[in-house]
Amino acid sequence: MGVLDEIISHKRSELQRRRAHRPVGDLQAACRRLPTALDFAASLRPSLPRRVSLIAEVKKASPSQGILKADLDPVAQSRAYARAGADAISVLTDLKYFRGSLDDLVAVRSTVAVPILRKEFILEEYQLWESRASGADAVLLIVAALDRQALGDLLQAAKGIGLGTLVEAHTAEELERALELGASVVGVNNRNLQSLRTSLDPSLDLLPRIPPGTVAVSESGIPTAADVEKVVRAGAHAILVGEGLLRARDIDTKVRELLLRDE
């Protein structure tokens, strides 16, 4: 069993408890009281002279690196990202593997004005309602975690709820499935979710295959401006960076570097 398989197995058990704790009807009622979600896809298309947009990630830990920032304050970190010029914020809400929670997302939503992506292992429509009710503007859908029918159903359900989506692929077959189902924002994950190995090769190989009308995102393993240059040349409109920012001594300087700003 790979790491992703283990996480999915645990997530299914967790979802049973979450549904029992808060029925979907309560979530739907909460969603009806919310304003329209911010446009996640539009936020990721850079306007000249900008060459790339940035999704800055908030996470305390990861399965590959363990604890990244034990004293992480999601609100302070997100404020710093937004102030430095991040175009969207990604919030990890998985507890067991990333030490996150939906409370983190709620807190971040209350403090930043940019779109928020819920980074989670989404398996069921219940989680879409849960995400929107907590203030998310978009959710991550991982092709490797879903069969074709489930992915298509979740894409349609997210659209109906008013959520944007980032559909994540790691292989050519996964990318083809995402594009066939009409994903408007497609991410290429440079980390293999089963082995947790990271390489820019997936982005360099797959980004050129994403058609111009689709927003292309390179995710993970992009710690330097040189790495950003490589994926932008391959076709990335945006990058998603977590560890490189969480370990940075100066967030403003690191964001400026990742956005390829010379000033």
Tell me the DSSP string of 15-38: HHHHHHHS-HHHHHHHHHTSPPPP
Q: Which residues does 93 contact at the CB level (< 8 Å), separation at least 6?
A: 100, 101, 102, 104, 105, 118, 119, 120
Catalytic member of 11, 43, 53, 59: 59
Catalytically annotated residue among 11, 220, 243, 254: 220
What 176-181 contacts at long range (C-beta under 8 Å, 24+ apart), as own/partner pairs, is: 177/143, 177/148, 177/151, 178/143, 178/151, 179/210, 179/211, 179/214, 181/148, 181/151, 181/152, 181/155
Selected catalytic residue, list 219, 243, 254, 257: 219
Catalytic one of 131, 189, 192, 203 = 189
**Which of the following is catalytic: 57, 120, 124, 130?**
57
d(CA 148, CA 153): 9
Between 148-161 and 172-180, two packed helices, what is the crossing angle to 10 degrees? 50
192 as an active site residue: the answer is: no
Q: Which of 11, 60, 119, 254 is catalytic?
A: 119
Alpha-carbon gap, residue 260 to 49, rounded angstroms: 10
Q: Is 219 a catalytic residue?
A: yes
- DSSP run (H or E) holding 41: helix 40-43
Active-site position among 168, 174, 243, 257:
168
Instruction: Reply yes or no on whether 59 is catalytic.
Output: yes
11 is an active site residue: no
189 is catalytic: yes
How much helix, strand and coil, in percent to the nearest 5, is found in the chain?
45, 15, 40
For residue 28, give the amino acid letter.
Answer: Q
Q: Does residue 159 carry a catalytic annotation? A: no
225 contacts 260 by C-beta, under 8 angstroms: yes
The owner of tokens 């990318």 is 175
96 is catalytic: no
Instruction: Point out the residues that are catalytic.
Output: 57, 59, 119, 168, 189, 219-220
